[in-house]
Chain A
């Protein structure tokens, strides 16, 4: 007779364990973290990383796909347990959300057309039109960096980065600003079309998975955090990073205080 009352008293961790399902929101348009691959399967670093998290917690992962600007509002509305964006760890987001152990470096770099010789360093985007995703930290970094250049950078905002890459390939914009792992992946997939402009610019930053700050969610997020740290410690994370980014990153166990 006490079961219904107990069920109500359960926190998010107990509910996830009882149902055996961890619901994760994502956008599936952020290769190599998370995308629909050329065979139509949902694939990427996030899919593999959460498969490991699921094993640690003993639960299945259920993915909910939304456009990026809808993912965080839906998390707050309680449509899923956490977000595997991943999102760049920023001050503003840190105030509102809880970031788990970072999974990759997120410092911003420039992607240009392979045949475009006019952009050799990040500073060469001065006076040009550069695209980035709407409401992304990369866009904010691009604007800050653009303001330091002799000629202003015109920014164009896209609902997703894939639209920006398409416009770059079509010559509608001169470059795309996105975090290094993402553009390195795009350039490696299409070396005849795209090239990475090194070095990255702006503040050093990291990508992390996101949960809410609601007290009810904390035991669950603690458990995912512990699983992530375990996956890092035993070397599984390094293997996944090498598989998807072509390089391993040293990432702190706890999300560091962001500088912007």
Chain B
């Protein structure tokens, strides 16, 4: 109770105080190296920069304040700033030459980080407040999205997705049944303080299986004694709904620190330029909170988050068999178009995700620290289909996934060397409810993981550093699953996997498949500073990923897609060797970054249309999990050009070439070439006005494998063999987006209003990596109005 009173009191106080502003930016050396731990003082307020040089200081009162930024070995920056809005100050500190002459200082010119971490700005995270994590990540070059409709969005990094791209939220790996293509990460983007992407298998601390890359989500950290809050209200024209998110942070240098935030979203049917996408509304109600005690040499924290979403699946994508599929493809427009509604009927998904975590950090002697944490996750997923009679309200798929994980990490910094090591364990169980009346696509299973890693990074000279790491993972999976005997035989399991059979139930076998994996992953990275503004980084990573339960066990009709999906008990683990390099040129006017990469994946697992199977419902396309050797090569590039203080141009370019080297055909579902140009015009004097025009050009994917098949369609008393073109990618498209915003003080609050238009010209298009592209267009123009209050 006392806590709530304190909370109310804090709220009241924060509303009564004067207008408050935030100073943020980065601290770098003249050689463009981020300075970790620089002190920033603004009158009585102060802060410290993070390892990437970033800092934020909140609650600065309006008016002229003296700002001092200092770092040992560098000349102190001392300036006066008039705070009548939030201010960004990117400081470049000059080396203090006299000091360098007197003492032989270790010149921290080159960072020990050999892997490039790309971060989304707070502005981007806020802009996508009412959208999804996947949508926001698309702002980073080389990140594409794999979608099922408009709301189920997952990131594709360098052509890879799903369990190849783990999402790590607050140091916990999200275990949320995200293995299938139509399962998006269950995470509220508004609970994130920062979101970053690591491309490549360089993050051994988090696992050895990040063949595609890693998405890191960290909570907001406020390191000063302050209480700040934020509320964002968003309204969207497309979907005729919006969202509200609100958060409150109590920061401190010592003692208690806490965060709370909550989000509500309510959206109706989306619209394409020509028709309503019936049953594409969604709802979300999310909440998260954390509390932490910061002691002198230790801190202790607990956090909890809850994600709760209901997502409609476009009715038009729900088909019965191959004839319906051909009809949908050839018609061009969906078979079901109903008037706009907020109602969400079947087919739909209902997902709930609980994540609770306990964490303990201890600072030891000799610059060492120890971290231990335990996390519990509960994920419930219900998928509802169009069903008959009294089964209408019964989900077609009902899964409960429980995950316990624990890890301990040790870190020591000593002169030019940083050592990290750790252990992790995971226990997981999935239960597929038999009450659905449908044989579950994913069976009951238990999984045990254990892993250990060690990473060393060392700065050899002022301009050269290297990092090497190794990790071992053990994994054991045992499942309990019924196989129809006919299916068991047709998959060729008879005589091969007989040892898995435990009981005979007439037409079905009860089986208990068991798998054990031992994986070794490793990474090696180097970073060389070629000049004061030019860095190159090189990385080599070996990653191993075990086939996930959907790849092993999927069996049966996937009602939502009208396809029969078949797993394969004989799948081997994937082994990927990824080589990448990053060229990074930083400057005040022009910044350039390019990352070419080569990813050779042995036993690459993919889902391929392989045959048609006839049942009494008609024939169905059969999608089987296959394995091949694949080579992915590509380049991501970003440039930023600031010819004047007011104008900024950003270019994002991404291309990936995927080849199935075993069959000599392209790899299915590779993102097409995409280029984004953004032109931004800023007038700081006029309420920090910004105007932005963005062009998003997505080319047609010309490299695709032909997995088309023919379907016998009855017509005039004959069966006509008709092509089911499931392979040909849609045309390329070019969209224009507009963004604008101003900031001003509303009473005691600092307020920002942003207006943006997505797809200005209401272009109709379909995207190759949208699972629903065979059935419907993408959503059309969306006008978004967003009001943000900072207090």
Same assembly: no
Which of A's residues lie within 8 Å of B, judged by CB?
none
Which of B's residues lie within 8 Å of A, judged by CB?
none
